[in-house]
Structure 1
Amino acid sequence: MSQPRTILADPAWRPSPKAKVLWTIQAALGWIVPFVALIVWVAFDGDRRGAQLVVFVVAVVLALVSIGVVPMWRYAVHRWEVTDEAVYTRVGWLTVQSRVAPISRVQTVDTERGPLERLLGLATVTVTTASSAGAVQISALDLPVAEQTVTRLTEIAALHRGDAT
C-alpha cells in the first residue's frame, strides 16, 4: 500500500511587477554583443550576403522572443514565500525549478542590488542554507519588501536555533 502523496502548493507571492522591466533590459543588453558582431561581419565580409541575411533574421527572431516573451513568461512562473517553517521559491521559464529551504537549515540571509536593480528600486534576497543545492534566491523584490523579508527571516531563524547542518 502506498503512502499518500503530499502536494506542494505554489508559493504565494510574485516578484515586483518591475521584474518584467528588469528582465527585459537584461535581455536587451545581452543582445548588444551578438548584433555588434553581426554588423562587423557584414561590414568586413560582403561576399556572404545570403548567409548574413539568414543569421540576421534568426537573431532578430530570437532577440524578440528573449526580450518580448521570456520576461513575461518568467514573471508568470516566478513565485516565493516565507513561512515559519521554510522558504519556498519557484523560478524559471523553460525549465521550472521549485525549492524548499527549511528555516532550520538557514545559515545567512543577504540582500544584493546590482546597478539595474538599484535604478528600478529592486533587490535580490539570497538565503544560504546547509544544502548541497546551494543558496535560494528571491529575485526582483521591491526594496522595502526585500528588507522586510530579510528582517522576518532573521527573526524566524533566531527562533529555530539549530546548527543548520
Structure 2
Amino acid sequence: MLDLRPPANRVSRKAVLYWTARAALGWLAPLAGELVWLLFGGGTALVIALIVTGVLAAAHLVVMPQWRYRVHRWETTPQVVYTQSGWFNQERRIAPVSRIQTVDTERGPLERLFGLANLTVTTASARGPVHVHGLDLDTTQRLAAELAARTQAVAGDAT
C-alpha cells in the first residue's frame, strides 16, 4: 500500500523563474492596453484601474510561482507515478506503472529558454494523463526512459 504523504521530489527551482516570466507575459496585454488608453485621454478612473492592475500583477508574480513550487511535487516508485499539483484546488494523482500506455516529454520555447521540460504519463484511465510540469531537461529525459523501461517490463497491454 502506498503511503499518502506528499510526493518526495520538487520540480526544478528554475520553474519559479519560468512561471514568473510566463505570468509576466500574461500581464503585459492588460497593462499595455490600459497604458495606451491612458495616453489617449483616459481619466482618473483609468489611472486607478492601472494602479489596481499593477498591484494585482505584482502580487500574482510574487505569490503564484513560490506557491506552485511549494505544492508541485512528483515521485516514482517501481509500482507507481505519484504527483501533486494545483493552485487553490490541489490534486494528488497515483498512476500504477502497469497502467501506463505512453510516456511523453514536451518543451515549449519559453521552457527551452529556462532548460525545463514537462512529462506526460498517459494511462488507461478515464481521468486522463498524469502531468509533471517544470522538471529540468535531464531529469525529464531520465524519468521518461526509466518509465518506458518499467512499462515494457510489465506484462499486459495496460488496459
Q: CA deviation at 1:7?
A: 5.5
Q: State the aligned residue count.
A: 158
Which of 47, 57, 73 is the equivalent residue of 2:67?
Answer: 73
Partner of 1:14: 10
Deviation at 1:61, TM superposition (A): 1.7
Q: Which amino acid aligns with 2:149?
A: E
Aligned equivalents of 1:54, 1:162: Cα separation in 2: 62
TM-score by length of structure 1 reads 0.90
Matched, 1:155 2:114: no
The TM-score normalised by the length of structure 2 is 0.93
Cα RMSD of the aligned pairs, angstroms, is: 1.4
In the alignment, does 2:32 pair up with 1:39?
Answer: no
Indicate the residue corresponding to 1:97 in structure 2.
91
Letter in 1 for 2:28: I
Structure 1: distance between partners of 2:22 and 2:155: 39
| Paired residues of 1:101 and 1:136 also in contact (CA < 8 A) | yes
2:99 & 2:110 partners in 1: Cα distance? 31
Runs of 4+ more than 3 Å apart: none
| Structure-1 separation of matches of 2:154 and 2:52 | 53
Q: Distance in 2 between matches of 1:102 and 1:54?
A: 52
Task: Quote the sequence identity (%).
Answer: 49
Structure 1: runs of 5+ lacking an equivalent? 1-5
Which ranges in structure 2 are unaligned for 5 or more consecutive residues? none
SS in 2 for 1:31: helix
Whole-angstrom CA distance in 2 between matches of 1:45 and 1:146: 50
